[in-house]
Amino acid sequence: MEIDIWEFILKIGAAALAGACMGFEREFKGKPAGLKTYSLVAVGAATFIIISLLFKDADSTDMTRIVGQVVVGVGFLGAGVILHDKNSKHVTGLATSAAIWCSAAAGCLAGFGLYIPLLALTVVVILINLVFGFLNGRVAKYFNNRK
């Protein structure tokens, strides 16, 4: 069992780029996780997928379990950025946590070499954060002015 180094570099490079694109938007907005976090999560997820592909022909390997473990592991990371303010009853960090989860999904896509879906996911995540972030601000401003 051996990993082709150029394929490995391509896959983790694609994962790092996708994670960095998602992280840049969060970094720009001053969120608790940014470029490094998103890139590292994506690269880590891609690496676990690449390692698991070494065993794809083994009878005892279930590829869905590897992906499942990436999802569970990243859930703990995402939980670390969620904060609850007991006084105001506000929860913050949910969008950041969800975006970290998406960067892990991006890493999984890169690890499997699914570059077009990786590009689509990256664009959709960035658009959701930009468009809905803008709309959230407008809606909050509207309702705060009504009080």
pLDDT tens-digit map of 85-127:
667 667 777 888 889 999 999 999 999 999 999 999 999 999 9
What's the confidence (pLDDT) of residue 33?
Answer: 78
The number of domains in the chain is: 1
The tally of CA atoms less than 13 A away on the side-chain side of residue 25 is 23
- pTM for the model stands at 0.85
End-to-end Cα separation, the chain, in angstroms:
65
Considering only residues 140 and 92, tell me which one the structure prediction assigns the higher pLDDT: 92
Considering only residues 13 and 92, tell me which one the structure prediction assigns the higher pLDDT: 13
pLDDT exceeds cutoff 70 at 76 = yes
The pair of structure tokens assigned to 65 is 């379990």
Q: How far is CA 111 from CA 10, 30, 116, in A?
A: 9, 29, 13
The pair of structure tokens assigned to 79 is 């939980």
Which phi and psi angles does 87 have, rounded to 5°?
Answer: -70, -45
What's the confidence (pLDDT) of residue 25?
Answer: 83
C-alpha to C-alpha distance for 128 and 133, rounded to whole angstroms? 7
pLDDT exceeds cutoff 70 at 146 = no
The per-residue pLDDT for range 32-63, each reduced to its tens digit, is: 778 899 999 999 999 999 998 888 888 877 77
Nearest CA-CA partner of 41 in 84, 65, 67, 73: 73
What's the confidence (pLDDT) of residue 85?
Answer: 63
111 within 8 A of 11, measured Cβ to Cβ: yes
Please say whether the dihedral angle defined by the alpha carbons of residues 26, 93, 36 and 118, taken in this order, is positive or negative.
negative
What's the confidence (pLDDT) of residue 47?
Answer: 95
What's the confidence (pLDDT) of residue 147?
Answer: 60
Domain around 45: 5-146
What's the confidence (pLDDT) of residue 138?
Answer: 75
